[in-house]
Amino acid sequence: MNTHLRMTRIASAITLGIGTLALLACHTAPVQNPAVGAARAELTALQTDPLLANRAPAAIKDAETAVVAAEKPQKDPAVEAHLAYLASNKVKMARALAASRYSEDQQKTVAAERDQIRLAARTQEADQAKMQTESARLQTENARQQTAAAERNTSYAEQQTTEANARAAALEKELADLNAKKTDRGMVFTLSDVLFATGKSDLKAGATANFDRLADALKKQEDRHITIEGHTDNVGSDELNMALSQRRAEAVKNYLVNRGVAAERISASGKGEAFPVTSNSSAAGRQKNRRVEVIMENPAADSAIQK
């Protein structure tokens, strides 16, 4: 039993001693100069470069010797720095010499290729001149055709513009007959609250004759968006007025959709009492503020110009 205990203690001591020696070795291992590591990396890259490795063998060998010397531990930092400097310079000189010789070889190859190209170029000159003449003829013919097409397009565009202006003028007159007003947003058609029963959002029967004319006019301008806004006076709560104005705007939208105006062109919103056109202090003023506005917005191009 005592023998086994002694052996265990001896093994532990040996293990501890080995660990201590390893730790001391780690603390005393010299740290390589980064410049030496960089020189070694650059030398390795040169030695493995398929274009340069065999063009300056003596210089590369000298560089290898200098790098090996610089990699040996040195007690004097000045000596270490000097060896690192020499190694780096040797590697750079070896690369420069190899690159110079590679360049010379390339110049010889380029000169030979240049002579071959010149010979081929002389052979091609006549063919190129012929091709250029034919190309010029084709370009002239193409330009003539493009000019003719441009003239036709211009004539067609002028015709389309004239027709569009005529349609716009006719539409503007038609909307003017419906008491629509031209604004920065577009043509605004104002509907008074006489179309609705008091506090209601259902359109009165027999009060929509102008709506039919308005729907027909709106259908003629498929490129224009239509905004419908409901407005109230200040009688009642904000919540009630907002809800009523929204329902009335929706009622007008539904009527126009039923008359054939595309639903995706129309947006409807209630504004409540927030945008009066006159004072709410009198019955006449409140009546003017109770309204639905149908705005046929300007075309996108016109809106961009105004902005």
pLDDT in tens, 161-202: 787 677 666 666 666 666 778 888 888 988 876 777 777 788
Residue 170 CB neighbour total at 10 angstroms? 12
CATH superfamily placement of domain 178-306: OmpA-like domain (3.30.1330.60)
pLDDT for the residue numbered 299: 76
Does pLDDT of 94 surpass 70? yes
Name the residue ranges covered by the structural domains of the chain. 178-306
pLDDT in tens, 202-236: 877 766 777 788 888 888 888 889 999 999 999 98
pLDDT in tens, 234-288: 998 999 999 999 999 999 999 999 999 999 999 999 999 999 999 999 988 988 8
pLDDT for the residue numbered 214: 83
pLDDT in tens, 5-25: 666 666 555 655 555 544 444
Is the model more confident about 281 or about 133? 281
Q: Read off the pLDDT band of 144 (50, 70, 90).
A: confident
pLDDT for the residue numbered 25: 45
